[in-house]
Amino acid sequence: MTPSPSAAAAPPSGDPPLRRLLQALESTVLGQPQVVADLVTAFLARGHVLLEGVPGVAKTLTARSIASALGLGFTRVQFTPDLMPSDILGTNVFRPQDNAFQLVKGPVFTEVLVADEINRTPPKTQAALLEAMEERQVTIDGTTHPLPAHFFVVATQNPLELEGTYPLPEAQLDRFLMRVRVGYPPPEAELDMVRGFHQRAGKAAQVERVLDTPTLLELQARAASVACDESVLAYAVRLIRETRANPRVRLGASPRSAQALLAAAKARAALNGGDFVTPDDVKAVCPSVLNHRLLLKAEAEVEGLTADDVLRQTLERVQVPR
């Protein structure tokens, strides 16, 4: 497996709360600064994240660590082939003593849902999360139940070439603001992992809470209000339209993808301590925001071309505003 772009340095943050958050995560999720930056970016943008990588590269640890650092309640669900939608959403159970039905809430009623190995369960169960992720609510037997405003899904999946997996349908993938590739850490970080494991006598690393809920909400509101010049808006739209014009692409990025790209770029600008979005902010988040929204033609896949390759070409072709 080739090294991931995760080895790149994370963006510096000029905001003390965000600096504390990044430092807390990077002290536990070693050697993956870009993965950490993308996770925090998605949370600031009120989006969801799909972490993709082979087993053993700390995907679940990363998901649990951000939940702990944010100080939010979280639930981990291990997705399996026999998992049913009601196992996630909950169900109404008849109580004879009350002569009435009572809702037994499922694990989706939380603040941070860690959906572990989401592609190990069939599409019917995967689809149970569609409404929750898009509208932050759940409908059970015709009754709608709201979820927390900052409801955040961090899902993990193994590459599809591994046995026992079910490809996520396009509608499910589109609910994720970012798909973040988690590769192997650099040698020094891997050595630090093993050394820490040895020193803790095999105990898992722990992340302390670094932010309170009012601060989280303030940071999200600040990210949403970051300014964006018309030229940068036009640049983002040109990137989206260029993916549709690529002859190797069967289905390019949609207008909703442009909105997702802008939201992530604003959050990345806030993470960098900026008051306005720059083209570099757009370029930084473009691969993770768009790599799961493109469908390539069969001949392109036979040639070994990937969505990441298309996006690299797109960023090279589209002129950056001055």
220 and 244 both lie in a single domain: no
102 and 181 both lie in a single domain: yes
Please give the Cα distance from 321 to 232 (Å, whole number): 7
pLDDT, position 33: 92
35 and 174 both lie in a single domain: yes
Half-sphere exposure for 58 (CA within 13 Å, toward CB): 24
239 and 318 both lie in a single domain: yes
Phi and psi, residue 151, nearest 5° = -50, 130
241 and 154 both lie in a single domain: no
DSSP for 178-222 reads EEEE--PPPHHHHHHHHHHHHHTTTPPP-------HHHHHHHHHH
Of 197, 224, 251, the last residue of a domain is 224
Please give the distance of CA 214 from its chain centroid, rounded to a whole number.
22
pLDDT, position 170: 83
pLDDT, position 162: 67
Please name the helix (run of DSSP H) or strand (run of DSSP E) that holds residue 287, with its range, or none: helix 279-290
Confidence of residue 168 (pLDDT cuts 50, 70, 90): confident
Mean pLDDT (the chain) is: 89
pLDDT, position 3: 40
147 and 200 both lie in a single domain: yes
pLDDT, position 5: 42
Of 166, 192, 224, the last residue of a domain is 224
pTM, to two decimals: 0.89
Confidence of residue 181 (pLDDT cuts 50, 70, 90): very high
Of the listed ranges 21-30, 67-76, 158-167, the least confidently predicted one is 158-167
Of 224, 247, 268, the last residue of a domain is 224
| Mean pLDDT, residues 130-155 taken together | 92
DSSP for 309-322 reads HHHHHHHHHSPPP-
Per-residue pLDDT of 114-123, as tens digits, reads 999 998 888 8
178 and 235 both lie in a single domain: no
179 and 233 both lie in a single domain: no
Confidence of residue 289 (pLDDT cuts 50, 70, 90): very high
| Mean pLDDT, residues 63-78 taken together | 89
| Mean pLDDT, residues 74-86 taken together | 92
Confidence of residue 166 (pLDDT cuts 50, 70, 90): confident
Torsion-angle region of residue 163: left (phi > 0), alpha (psi -120 to 50) or beta? beta
Task: Supply the CATH number for residue 230's domain.
Answer: 1.10.8.80
Please give the Cα distance from 249 to 120 (Å, whole number): 27
Q: Which structural domain, as residue segments, surrounds residue 43?
A: 1-224
148 and 285 both lie in a single domain: no
182 and 230 both lie in a single domain: no
pLDDT, position 6: 39
- The total of structural domains in the chain comes to 2
Confidence of residue 79 (pLDDT cuts 50, 70, 90): very high
pLDDT, position 284: 96
204 and 316 both lie in a single domain: no
59 and 172 both lie in a single domain: yes
Confidence of residue 207 (pLDDT cuts 50, 70, 90): confident
Instruction: Locate 26 and state its tokens.
Output: 């990077």
